[in-house]
Chain A
Amino acid sequence: VVVKRVAVSLWAFIGLASLVFGWVATRTPAVTAQAGQSVAEAGRLAFDRDCGSCHGCPELASASDEAARLVDKLATHGPSSVEDDLAIVAYLVSDPPCSTGLAPATRTGGDH
């Protein structure tokens, strides 16, 4: 009886921990892209940043047309596929639309 209670409680806890994991892991910003990293690596890292202030940013207006179009696409439609996301992020990092060098946190549907 005791063992059953412990096991059931433990699985309830694991289930709850998984939910928290899912919620936090898809929202927590990751590390900042560091100098000297490859574009792809920086892209992956920057992909996880949540700048949060792109909307109405004056610097975005002066970014290249392609960067602005991609940012708009991400803001409007969200990520489409892994390959698309990484390609977009890599492009944004190599041609940053803002001086912070941060790419949009697309996975939360942000409006960067």
Chain B
Amino acid sequence: MSLLFRGVLWFGLYLVVVLLPLGVGLLATPGGHHPGPWSGAASGLGLAAFSVIVIEFALVSRLHAASEPFGTDALMQFHRLMGLGGLAAVVVHAAWFAFAAGSVNVLNPLDPASPVRAGAAAAWLLLAMVTASVHRRKLGISYEAWQLTHSIGAMLVVVASFAHLARHGSFSSAPALRALLVAYVVALLLLMAWYRLWRPWNLRRHPWEVEYNRDVGGSTRALGLRPLGHRGFGFLPGQFAWLSTARSPFALAQHPISLSSSAVTTEPPLIEFAIKALGNWSASKVPSLSPGERVWVDGPYGAFSIDREPGTGLVLISGGSGVAPMLSMLRTMRDRGDPRPVVHIHGARSPERMALRDELEALAGQLNLRFVPVYEDPPEGWTGERGFVDAVMLARYLPARPQDYQYFVCGPGGMMDVVESALAASGIPPERIHTERFDMV
């Protein structure tokens, strides 16, 4: 079954899950009041928002079958956008009924007189979660703290929303609709049990050990790992894995890190991550890891790979830690003897602060590769590219038939926005532009 067909099937299933409560609500006998078309629409929006919120967890629960057609990066972006839309839907739902009731007090979850306290609590909690996710860095919340509170908060939102629907829903008093909503919650609980219990338990049976931990410049560590008592896993160049350095794989804190090693199998099996010091974990814990220490690796994931996208040539555009998946692609091409032309544009603050600079430059001599370093703060006498990667700079390096190439972009969010827009403006078809974003929160 092709990835496209599977993608269509999964998207169709998503649509069905989101809209089924509305269909069942129409067919089932309503047992409550009949509030008129606008209130009915607000109820429908609330029902759909509940479905969206319940299924949000499924989008990021690392189900291989579901993530393969789209890629984890795309699913995470979709999760984020649907969460924002879900919040907007809940706000519209709540605002309409507050307007209809003629009082905003109903939105106060602490007001004992409010008949919809559970719903109001769910709405406020959802608002807090979305705010913390969108502005995590500005609010000074660590990734680990955010991960923990996001998981707990999501569960509380689902429980409070369900309580609201069960007690106050205009249409959810119908047995068929209530049964459907219960089924959604049960499915969510089962998925959480798989994600939080079975998956870590499986990881525990397949530990990894630190083989080496090297400083490769640019505040970046190259962390080599070898499997302990198992064969490891194969992966596509450009994919990533979730890395945990906690004592137990059941710990919540896990980090999505791109594999930087070649996808060509080695003997003994060995994988490598290039980890830039960007937060508490990567700046303090990672450098302290010693050979022989045990870690947990859940992977591979992601659709960001040259192996999935046939093209006569490649344009790789990276910035900062975005170099890791590019390095994996280039190392793999070298090991395979891939003769296709490659342009690699990589942004860094300065030559001294560019991770893996020596190897990137060396690869230019081993592949049909044009390596273009771009420095924000170049050394005196530098005649190459400087500043930030933008449309004008890109135009200088696009191949003669740019629509025949595949474009891979990975780096800081701002750079990716600029590059994506520039590539689209240059006439590159969207299906040939592939991105990997891990700094969404």
Q: What residues of chain A have their CB less than 8 Å away from a CB belonging to chain B?
A: 1-4, 6-8, 10-11, 14-15, 17-19, 21-28, 30-31, 44-45, 47-48, 79, 82, 85, 107
Contacts and interface: CB of A to CB of B under 8 A. Distances in A.
Contacts of A21: 22, 25-26, 40-41, 43-44, 47
A108 to B, nearest CB: 9
A26 B36 contact: yes
Given A44-B29, A79-B34, A82-B32, A18 B81 contact: no
Contacts of A4: 77, 81
A17 B19 contact: yes
A25 B31 CA distance: 12
Given A1-B424, A25-B25, A18 B48 contact: yes
Given A1-B420, A4-B81, A25 B30 contact: yes
B229 interface: no
Contacts of A107: 34, 36
B45 A26 contact: no
A18 B36 contact: no
Contacts of B85: 7, 10-11, 14
Interface of B: 15, 18-19, 22, 25-26, 29-45, 47-48, 52, 74, 77-78, 81-82, 85, 88-89, 171, 420, 424, 430-431, 433
A4 B37 CA distance: 30
A25 B29 contact: no
Given A3-B81, A17-B44, A25 B26 contact: yes
Given A10-B82, A18-B44, A24 B26 contact: yes
A21 to B, nearest CB: 3
Contacts of B424: 1
A3 B78 contact: yes
A18 B15 CA distance: 14
Contacts of A1: 420, 424, 430, 433
Contacts of B52: 14
A79 to B, nearest CB: 7
B419 to A, nearest CB: 11
A45 B18 CA distance: 27
A17 B420 contact: no
B81 A17 contact: no
11 contacts: A1-B424, A1-B430, A3-B78, A7-B81, A11-B89, A17-B48, A18-B47, A19-B44, A21-B22, A31-B29, A79-B34
Contacts of A47: 34
B229 to A, nearest CB: 39
